[in-house]
Amino acid sequence: FRSNYCTCPSRVLGVMVRQPLHPVVPRGATMKGRLFDVQPMEGADADDRSAADCLPSFTDIAKFIVPGFCIVLAGSSMSSVDKSFVGRHSTLELAALGPASTAFDCGSYLLTFLNTATLSLLARRGDQQYARRIRSHALVLAMSSAAFLGAVLCSCAAALVGILGATPDMMQHSVNYLRLRSLGLPVERGISIA
């Protein structure tokens, strides 16, 4: 005899609840703001019924996914906009953006964990005071870490773009672009956290 239900811990309630091993959409399920309406099993106790009520709705999932998607999209779009404007002047300057953008993006990705961690902590259902405290701590940590990383990128710009393949002709353009963009790193991280 194999049961279709397993017992596993629920992060929402902090108690043991019964959840299906293979989620099955019941016949006649309704769309009540959820992916599907969950009905507790016959004979389920109050904890099982409240666990079914605490499943995240589609809007809760969207509120979590959309900011994370925008965080990833922001860095790529900034590099694309820079390349579209710089490419109008000369091909040498456009080629110089390659190593500089790669160095900046690699440095920026080192701090992406702060965005993910903040988003995960804010997704918990807490009071407004808790959310404000998480945001303020995350902003201070992100902006101070980004300022330190920006200083490292500024001071090591020539070595970094040289390692990433900048030729002597485009070295000066790559270094200038990387130094200029690294000055905005604290603002970029602050905006992605806020």
Task: Please report, in tens digits, the pLDDT of each residue of the chain (194 residues total).
Answer: 344 444 444 444 333 444 444 444 455 555 454 444 445 555 555 555 555 566 778 887 887 788 778 777 776 777 777 777 877 778 898 899 899 989 998 888 888 888 888 888 887 767 888 888 988 999 999 999 999 999 999 999 999 999 999 999 999 999 999 999 999 889 888 888 87
The two tokens of residue 25 are 């959409």
Residue 64 confidence (pLDDT): 73
Residue 67 confidence (pLDDT): 74
For the full predicted model, state whether its pTM sits above 0.85. Answer: no
The answer to whether the beta carbons of residues 181 and 104 sit under 8 Å apart is: yes
Q: CA of 138: how far to CAs of 94, 123, 133, 149, in Å?
A: 35, 14, 8, 16
The two tokens of residue 56 are 């995240």
Residue 18 confidence (pLDDT): 45
Residue 90 confidence (pLDDT): 85
Residue 131 confidence (pLDDT): 86
How many CB atoms within 10 Å of residue 66? 10
Residue 53 confidence (pLDDT): 62
Give me the count of residues in the chain: 194
The answer to whether the beta carbons of residues 139 and 190 sit under 8 Å apart is: yes
**How many Å apart are CA 23 and CA 5, to the nearest integer?**
10
Residue 12 confidence (pLDDT): 41
Residue located via tokens 């500024």 = 154
What sections of the chain are H helices per DSSP? 46-53, 58-86, 91-109, 112-123, 128-155, 157-163, 171-183, 185-193
112 burial level (CB within 10 Å; 0-12, 13-18, 19+) = middle
Q: Which residues pair with 19 in a beta bridge?
A: 6
